[in-house]
Structure 1
């Protein structure tokens, strides 16, 4: 345990694990959020989709990172259908995002051309400055999520562990 020197009481004790779950979120300028893509390393558990938002896609990668395969899945199953449903005939679409190599697969690049979609990557080392969702949505969401997890930990019958159902109870 690491705490500042001269600390009399440790107020918050957290158990940590190697499990990392990530969420790919995308929104448009009108403020609509597309269904998320939830991914993690290794195993994808059978009960993950229970109670999730409609249209959410669930996947995993060996590394746990959002690789090219996951990006293609997200693009073709979430983003492209949304663009086709909501875009006016003949209009072009601009997609802004990270300048990651995994976002530039041959299949996705071909689709960009076919569907009149232009990709505008953020400048290198500037994504933290240029992603409005990070400040306006994810900051407050993370605070709320931490409260939910803290409540689950307090009420869990097994210290440091809780089920997805327990989290769902507090999230509602």
Structure 2
């Protein structure tokens, strides 16, 4: 596969090690209300089984995460779909996280550059420490001229995974986002059960 040839060339040319290769991915499955139906255990033959769910529509919040193989986890960028920034949005976020807003709820060119600067401030890339970021194949911002210029000036190499292959090549999908989604739904259900007067669906 051409991807691995390019990866090998980058690693050899710039002396990149496993400590300076990072996987980057964006996920947007975190709704402000419960979306997925919970598992309910009931007696066989029972016709009505109660479960707690939300009747609201809710909004999706996107999270951009970045990790490397050994032990470094970059605090995420959290993107809220709204027009005005509010300090309350950062309450409870992992230490060091940055939170931003966009009208569409998706990362845009401006936010992508902010995210690159956030990464640079943590990984401290430079002439003696070039880094490689493996991006999702659907990321359109890898062609952003300003972002490419910033990356070049700061010894950051961007390599996009081929489209429709991240379920195989992107470890964040399987090892991080999937369990996180499960825990997120559990936390939503626990919160709803703790609220008195919550309507119950049948």
Q: Is TM more than 0.5 here? A: yes
- The residue correspondences of 1:20-169 to structure 2 (distance < 5 A) are 20-42=60-82, 43-76=84-117, 78-84=118-124, 87=125, 90-99=128-137, 100-157=139-196, 159=198
Q: Which runs of 5+ in 1 are unaligned?
A: 161-172
CA distance in 2, matches of 1:49, 1:138: 20
Q: Which has the higher contact order (CA 8 A, sep 6+)?
A: 2
Query: Which ranges of 4 or more aligned residues in structure 1 deviate by more than 6 Å?
Result: none
Contact 2:66 2:74 in 1 (8 A): yes
| Bigger proportion of residues as strand | 2
Contact 1:68 1:103 in 2 (8 A): no
Q: CA RMSD in A?
A: 2.4
Number of residue equivalences: 153
CA-CA distance at 1:91 after TM superposition: 3.1
Q: For residues 50-109 of structure 1, give each alpha carbon's deviation from its aligned partner in whole angstroms, at most 9, with x where no partner exists.
A: 232221111111111111121111111x2111221xx57613211101132123322210
Q: Which runs of 5+ in 2 are unaligned?
A: 1-36, 38-45
SS in 2 for 1:152: helix
